[in-house]
A and B are shown apart, each in its own frame.
Chain A
Amino acid sequence: MRYNEKELQALSRQPAELAAELGMRGPKKGSGEPALTGPLAPLCPQPVGALLLERCRVTQEEPSGFSISFMEDPERKYHFQCCSEEQCQEWMGALRRASYEFMRRSLIFYRNEIQKMTGKDPLEQFGISEEARFQLGGLKA
């Protein structure tokens, strides 16, 4: 699969959701891989990599460490070491909210709730009420 590294590096120059130096251990022994911020999240200031966060699972591994694994191979974990338990919780929370699918589900939830309460579709004001990605049917049951 081709992708342009320079595009990903440009993404790392966008405002970060969260940025810190974390210890990281990739799934393979000794492989120095990335830390992350944002939906697809590169390490600043000199990005070495990015992790797409769709359908990932964030698990606390120890008081101040967590791991990220992905659906296709849950045993393959990216381990992160934080400075404190607090920082660990902060990162885990941010990572769980960082996926596009999470945003989409939130949006559909709010849309549905508002429509029930007011009888109006709130997305009409943005002219995006017809978009497939905002329809309830788009959600996997």
Chain B
Amino acid sequence: MGAMKLNERSVAHYALSDSPADHTGFLRTWGGPGAPPTPSGTGRRCWFVLKGNLLFSFESRESRAPLSLVVLEGCTVELAEAPVSEEFAFAIRFDAPGVRPHLLAADGPAAQEAWVKALSRASFGYMRLVVRELESQLRDARHSLALQRHSSWKATGGHCKPQAPDRRSPGLENGHSPSKDCSPMDLVEERCSRPAGRGLAEWQGPASHFLGRRQSPSCPETSYFSTLHNWYGEEIMELRQRWLQRVWGSQPEREKQDGP
């Protein structure tokens, strides 16, 4: 290893954490310690896990320590020839001097295609592009409905006062919950009646983003949420502000992305 440091412990922890894997499966690999510069032979069969933009390999499915990590940023994924002709190979290439491509092979054409697809779309940049596109689509859709909904929500929101400080950030991150129906009407009701839970959201989930109250208005991710804020009306905003001050004045509480 050497000069370029990485918070390996956290990375390894993340590899084994319960966060969803985007793709998993056995692949043949020709890299690794002591591997010849030119791939030869049948390589080695390892268990691969794609999480976000990180591709981990493990000795076996049950293994608790990742063997290797590839960060899938600034790379291309393409079909390739394996040393063993019946393999369904592909390569991850980095456009950097002295970096050999990672040659991998799936058991069949379907798995090969699925891996190439998943890996080539794994970058943060791709994800962000899709998010920005959807964000603007939602803004457009909201725009046409905003006025008619405004009046009815305000009526609901006006008499709905939380009796006790709710531990969740009101409303907003609920939208990220797997709840099938989280229309703003429901969010208002939920906020008033349901107990708050604890969970992972504080750890770099969207909730922590919304709890971060000093967002730049120019931040593209926040524009829609600020609109939603306004829909709740000034009164709710004020209540929330007071609540946040209380919560953050004492101790940070974990937020939960509640299930339905």
Q: Which residues of A contact B (CB under 8 A)?
A: 1-11, 13-14, 33-34, 38-40, 42, 47-58, 70-73, 78, 89-90, 92-93, 96-97, 99-114, 116-118, 122-123, 126, 128, 131-133, 136-141
Contacts and interface: CB of A to CB of B under 8 A. Distances in A.
Contacts, number: 232
Pick the 10 closest A-B CB pairs, nearest first. A49-B5, A100-B52, A141-B259, A10-B96, A110-B134, A39-B124, A5-B4, A70-B10, A72-B13, A2-B68
A138 to B, nearest CB: 4
A7 B20 contact: no
Interface in B87-124: 94-99, 118, 121, 124
A112 B166 CA distance: 25
Q: Chain B contact residues (Cβ within 8 angstroms of A): what range?
A: 35 or more
Given A4-B70, A54-B19, A89 B214 contact: yes
A5 B1 contact: yes
Contacts of A71: 10, 13, 17, 203
Interface string B187-216: 000000000000010111110110010111
A52 B3 contact: no
Given A9-B4, A52-B7, A122 B178 contact: no
Given A39-B53, A55-B14, A106 B131 contact: yes
Interface stretch (B76-84, B137-145, B157-165, B238-246): B137-145
Given A96-B212, A114-B138, A107 B71 contact: no
B178 A136 contact: yes
Given A40-B73, A49-B4, A96-B208, A116 B183 contact: yes
B102 to A, nearest CB: 9
Nearest to B98: A6
A106 B65 CA distance: 30
Interface in B11-56: 11-14, 17-20, 22-23, 32-33, 51-54
Contacts of B18: 140
A58 B94 CA distance: 31
Nearest to A135: B20
A101 B131 CA distance: 12
A140 B66 CA distance: 22
Nearest to B54: A52
Contacts of B204: 53-58, 96, 99, 101-102
A97 to B, nearest CB: 6
Nearest to A9: B4
Contacts of A141: 177-178, 257-260
